[in-house]
Amino acid sequence: MSELRFDAVSVRYGHHLAVDDVSLTVPSGQVVGLVGESGSGKSTLAATAVGLVPATAGRVLVDGAENHLRKVQMVFQDPYSSLDPRMSIGGSIAEAMPRGTDRRAEVARLLELVNLDPGRATALPSRLSGGQRQRVALARALAGRPEVVIADEITSALDVSVQGAVLNLVRDLQRQLGLSMLFISHNLAVVRYVSDRIAVMKSGRIVEEGPAERVLAAPEHPYTRELLAAAPRRHTRLEAS
């Protein structure tokens, strides 16, 4: 597998600097969790990696190369809007495959991989539950044989009861296929569960990055400490300040 590297990436919307000189590396075969406040530019950064948003400055490299069409795939937040309602799920998955693949066999294999019945390839997304749709989205991302997968808030539109199943699947697949992965979430507990390393983003900048245990056990940046203190824990209560 490969390494994804953001090299001094900036993105500007008009006067607003959404991503400010970010350098971040997702090492080969590892999961980097990206947390940060809303509007901090997490999604924008992800969008530069897959070419949906052009970087105003800087480069995104996969194994040192800038041309990486299809090598980076993304799973979106909302499985209800990320699948074409008029296209069968098999069709959506097949579309992402490189030319010359045996599409039918590959679709069946991928559906099997994400624990869905291959017989449902012809079903439309409206027949599937949110969790099942997110599995299809995952299968589609894998169909392009990516070297890097970006998961942008993939569980936040899902119910907790389904969230667990999707997270288990993501972890299994990542280990089984040795994927490199950028896992974006606002939920620190979720990020902690899947990530090897954790990066913390605030106002368009990465303020802290390091091995997950270290960042969680000994946060260096005050904002990381604030995040940790704010994370819901079972036995803490929040009082009106």
Partner 1 sequence: MGRRGVLRAAAGPAPVATPRDRTGVVRTVLRSPVGATSAVLLCLLVALAVFAPLLWGDRAAAIDTDALQQGPSPAHLLGTDQLGRDIFFRVLVATRLTIGLALLATVIGVAAGLVLGSAPSVLPRWAGRVVTSAVNIAVAFPGLLLALFFAVIFGTGTIGAVLAIAFAITPSFARLTQTLTASVAGRDFIAAARVCGVGRFRLLTRHVLPNIAEPLVINSTLAAGSALTAFAGLSFLGIGVQAPSYDWGRLLGEGLNRIYLSPAPALGPAVAVVVAGLAFNLFGEAAASAAGRRPQPVRRTPPAPESIVDDSGGGLLTVRNLRVTFPGGISPVRGVSFTVHEGEMIGVVGESGSGKSLTALAVSRLVEHPGEVTADRLEFDGRPLAATPDRELGTKLAMVFQDPMTSFNPTRRIGRQLAEVSEVHQGMSRRDALAKAVDRLRAVRIPEPERRAGQYPHEFSGGMRQRAMIAMGLMGEPRLVIADEPTTALDVTVQREVLRLLARIRAERTAGVLLISHDITVVAQTCDRVLVMYAGRIVEELPTAELFTAARHPYTTALLAAVPDLDTDRDAPLAVIPGRPPEPGEIGPGCPFAPRCPLAGDRCRTEEPELTAMADGHRVACWRSESELTLAATGGPR
Ligand X SMILES: Nc1ncnc2c1ncn2[C@@H]1O[C@H](COP(=O)(O)OP(=O)(O)OP(=O)(O)O)[C@@H](O)[C@H]1O
Contacting residues toward ligand X, per CB under 6 A: 13, 16, 18, 36, 38-44, 186
The phi-psi region of residue 106 (left if phi > 0; otherwise alpha if psi is between -120 and 50; otherwise beta) is: alpha
Count Cβ neighbours within 10 Å for each residue of 79-94 and write b for 16 or more, e otherwise.
beebbeeeebbbbbbb
* H-run or E-run covering 151: strand 148-152
Nearer Cβ to partner 1 (10/187): 187
CA distance 205 to 63: 23
Nearer Cβ to partner 1 (1/87): 87
Candidate ranges 58-66, 89-97, 105-113, 174-182; the one touching partner 1 (CB under 8 A)? 89-97
Tell me if 60 contacts partner 1 by CB under 8 A. no
Which of partner 1, ligand X, Mg ion, none binds 148 (CB below 5-8 Å, type-dependent)? Answer: none
Residue appearing with tokens 């808030």: 153
* E strand segments, 153-239: 180-184, 197-202, 205-211
Tell me if 217 contacts partner 1 by CB under 8 A. no
Whole-number minimum distance, CB 130 to Mg ion, in Å? Answer: 18
Whole-number minimum distance, CB 99 to ligand X, in Å? Answer: 33
Residue appearing with tokens 């969008």: 47
CA distance 197 to 191: 9
Nearer Cβ to ligand X (38/176): 38
Among 3, 7, 20, 37, binds partner 1 (CB under 8 A): 37
Tell me if 36 contacts partner 1 by CB under 8 A. yes
